[in-house]
C-alpha cells in the first residue's frame, strides 16, 4: 500500500444551487398579499488550502472524487434555502495545481494559501425577488445553477533548503538520519529509499531542512529509475549537496565520474523548468560535495586523492562518515552558512496585486456566430449571461420562457442576430455544442411584460392565437358542404337499390 504520494488527479465538483420558490402568500382577509417565494441557497465550493499538518497527497489518492454540498430550495413566506458549506481540502505546503494539459493554475506556498478548484452554483431567485411593477405576481422562479466540475493535477514539490543528490546507496538517508531526528529506512541494497525523506537540522541558532532525493541514476531525466518521479523535489532548494560514495565496489565508478553523471542529469532536468526558486536557476545554485564513508581506509585514501581535483573546480569539499559521525559538525555549520546567505539574498515577497479588468463600454458580453455543418445552418450564441439565463430557466413553465425572451431581447441578442444575417425560422443555439438549447427564432414575437395578461405560469406569446382569414373560412365552408352532399348522394343510392335491412337477419 502506498504511504507517500506526490502526484494525483483530483476530480472536484461544486455544489448545486437550490431552486427558487414560486409561492403566493395566502392569508384570511388578504386576497392580494403578493408573491412570497424565497431564493435558493448557493452551493458550496471545493477549496484547496495549505495545511502544515499535511505532508502527503495520499488522501486524494484513495478518494480522488470530491463533491461539495448543494444548497437547498427556497420556500414560501420569504424563506431562503440554506447555503452549502465549502469543502476545504488540506494540502501540503508546496503543492502545485495544474490543468490536465499541464498549465500551472496556482502554486500554493505558505500556510493558509487557498485556491478555489470548483465554485458552487448560485441559487435561483424566488418569485418574490422577480416581482416588478409590471409583473406583480410572477408564476415562476429561477432554477439553481449546477456547480462547476474541474479535473486538476496536484503535484507536491518539497520545500527544503538543502537537497541531497547522488547514486543509490551513496549514504544520503544515513546522512539525514545522522544530522537530524528523521529515521528513514536504511539498508545495503540499491533503491532502499523509495520516497523523499525530510529532516530538520539545528546548527547553532540556524535551523534548516534537508531533503533526500532517491533514485538518481544515469538517464534519470529521461525516466530511468526513480529520479524522474522525485526530481521535482529539488526545484525549491537553496543548496545542492552531492553525496559521493568513496567505498563503492563497482569497478566503473569513482567520485568524480559520479559527480559528472549527476550534474549532467540535473542540467538536463533544469532545461524543462519554467520557474526558478528564489529567482536563481537550478544550475546556478550553490554546490557542495560530500565524500562519504571515510571510515573505510580505502575510501579515505580515495577521498584524499580526488579532493584536489574537486576543489580545482571551485567546489567546497567535506569528508565525512555517517557511521562514525566524523566531519558532520563542520558540514552542518557550513550548510547553515550557505542557507542563511541564500535566504538573505532572496528577494522580498511582493504583495499580491489586485488586478481590476473593467468591461469595455462597447462589450456586449456575448457573441453570435453563423455556423454551417452537415448541410445545416445555425447561429451559435455564447456568453456568460445568456448561458446562465438558460440554465436558470424552467422550460416547463411558459411564463419563465417568456421571461427568458425578455432578458435576451433587453441584452441585445435579437439585434445581434439581425446583424449576423439571421431570418425568421433560422435555428439558434445557446450554449456549448455538446449541451445547448436549440429553438427556431421568431423575431416578430412581441416582448415586454406589460403585454402579459394571462394567468400565472402562462405567456400569451407562446399560444397559438392566429385568426383564420376570409379565404380560409370560405374554403372550410365549401369543404363541409361538399362532404354533406357526398354523404346525401351515398344514402340516396343505397335507397334506390333497396338495401334496407340485412337479408340474413
Q: From the annotation, which residues make up the binding site? A: 166-173, 191-195, 212-215, 292-295, 321-323
Which residues have C-beta within 8 Å of that of residue 101, sequence separation ≥ 6? none
Here the cell at position 498 is: 333497396
- Residue 89: count of CB within 10 angstroms of its CB: 19
H/E element, 481: helix 470-496
Contact 241, 288 (CB under 8 A): yes
Instruction: State whether residue 46 is helix, strand or coil.
Output: strand
**H or E element in which residue 491 lies:** helix 470-496
Question: Can you tell me whether residue 98 is helix, strand or coil?
Answer: strand
Q: What is the CB neighbour count within 10 angstroms for residue 235?
A: 19
| Contact criterion met (CB below 8 Å) for 256 and 310 | yes
CB proximity list for 48: less than 8 A, separation 6 or greater = 89, 91, 95, 97, 108, 114, 115, 117, 154
- Binding site for Mg(2+): what residues are annotated? 173, 193
Residue 143 · residue 392 · CB < 8 Å: yes
Question: What is the helix (H) or strand (E) element at residue 200, kind and residue range?
Answer: strand 197-203
The label of the residue with cell 340516396 reads: 492
Q: Name which of 193, 149, 200, 189 is nearest 173 in CA terms.
A: 193
φ/ψ of 409, rounded to 5, equals -65, -40
CA geometry: angle 188, 190, 191, nearest 5 deg: 120
Read off the C-alpha cell for 501.
335491412
Sign for the CA dihedral angle at 386, 65, 234, 338 comes to: positive
- In angstroms, the Cα distances linking 321 to 83, 293, 294, 303 are 61, 5, 5, 11
C-alpha to C-alpha distance for 58 and 92, rounded to whole angstroms: 11
- Would you list which residues are annotated within the binding site for GTP? 166-173, 191-195, 212-215, 292-295, 321-323
d(CA 456, CA 24): 11
Amino acid at each position: 500500500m502506498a504511504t507517500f504520494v506526490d502526484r494525483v488527479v483530483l476530480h472536484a465538483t461544486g455544489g448545486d444551487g437550490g431552486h427558487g420558490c414560486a409561492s403566493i402568500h395566502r392569508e384570511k382577509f388578504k386576497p392580494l398579499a403578493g408573491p412570497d417565494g424565497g431564493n435558493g441557497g448557493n452551493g458550496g465550493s471545493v477549496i484547496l488550502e495549505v495545511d502544515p499538518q499535511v505532508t502527503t497527497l495520499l488522501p486524494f489518492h484513495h478518494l480522488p472524487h470530491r463533491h461539495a454540498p448543494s444548497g437547498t430550495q427556497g420556500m414560501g413566506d420569504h424563506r431562503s434555502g440554506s447555503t452549502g458549506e465549502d469543502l476545504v481540502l488540506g494540502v501540503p505546503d508546496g503543492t502545485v495545481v495544474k490543468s490536465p494539459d499541464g498549465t500551472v493554475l496556482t502554486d500554493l506556498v505558505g500556510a493558509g494559501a487557498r485556491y478555489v478548484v470548483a465554485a458552487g452554483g448560485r441559487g435561483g431567485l424566488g418569485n418574490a425577488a422577480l416581482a416588478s411593477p409590471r409583473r406583480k405576481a410572477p408564476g415562476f422562479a429561477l432554477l439553481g445553477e449546477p456547480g462547476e466540475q474541474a479535473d486538476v493535477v496536484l503535484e507536491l514539490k518539497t520545500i527544503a533548503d538543502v537537497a541531497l543528490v547522488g547514486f543509490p546507496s551513496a549514504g544520503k538517508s544515513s546522512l539525514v538520519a545522522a544530522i537530524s531526528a528523521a529515521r528513514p529506512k536504511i539498508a545495503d541494497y540499491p533503491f532502499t529509499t523509495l520516497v523523499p525523506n525530510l529532516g530538520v537540522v539545528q546548527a547553532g541558532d540556524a535551523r534548516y531542512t534537508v531533503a533526500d532525493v532517491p533514485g538518481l541514476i544515469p538517464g534519470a531525466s529521461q525516466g530511468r529509475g526513480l529520479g524522474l518521479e522525485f526530481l521535482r523535489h529539488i526545484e525549491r532548494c537553496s543548496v545542492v549537496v552531492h553525496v559521493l560514495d568513496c567505498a563503492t565496489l563497482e569497478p566503473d565508478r569513482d567520485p568524480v565520474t559520479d559527480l559528472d553523471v549527476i550534474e549532467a542529469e540535473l542540467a538536463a532536468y533544469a532545461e524543462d523548468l519554467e520557474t526558478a526558486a528564489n529567482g536563481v536557476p537550478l544550475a546556478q545554485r550553490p554546490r557542495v560535495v560530500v565524500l562519504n564513508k571515510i571510515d573505510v581506509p580505502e575510501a579515505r585514501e580515495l577521498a584524499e586523492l580526488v579532493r584536489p581535483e574537486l576543489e580545482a573546480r571551485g567546489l567546497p569539499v567535506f569528508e565525512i562518515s555517517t557511521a562514525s559521525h566524523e566531519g558532520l559538525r563542520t558540514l552542518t555549520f557550513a550548510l547553515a552558512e550557505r542557507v542563511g546567505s541564500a535566504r538573505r539574498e532572496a528577494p522580498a515577497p511582493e504583495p499580491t496585486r489586485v488586478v481590476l479588468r473593467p468591461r469595455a463600454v462597447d462589450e456586449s458580453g456575448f457573441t453570435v456566430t453563423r455556423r454551417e455543418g452537415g448541410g445545416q445552418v445555425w447561429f451559435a450564441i455564447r456568453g456568460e449571461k445568456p448561458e446562465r439565463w438558460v440554465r436558470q430557466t424552467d422550460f416547463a413553465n411558459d411564463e419563465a420562457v417568456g421571461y427568458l425572451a425578455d432578458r435576451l431581447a433587453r441584452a441585445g441578442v435579437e439585434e445581434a442576430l439581425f446583424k449576423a444575417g439571421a431570418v425568421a425560422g433560422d435555428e439558434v443555439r445557446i450554449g456549448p455544442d455538446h449541451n445547448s438549447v436549440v429553438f427556431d427564432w421568431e423575431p416578430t414575437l412581441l416582448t415586454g411584460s406589460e403585454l402579459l395578461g394571462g394567468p400565472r405560469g402562462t405567456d400569451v406569446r407562446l399560444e397559438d392565437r392566429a385568426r383564420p382569414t376570409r379565404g380560409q373560412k370560405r374554403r372550410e365552408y365549401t369543404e363541409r358542404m361538399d362532404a354533406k352532399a357526398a354523404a346525401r348522394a351515398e344514402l340516396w343510392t343505397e335507397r334506390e337499390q333497396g338495401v334496407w335491412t340485412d337479408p340474413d337477419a
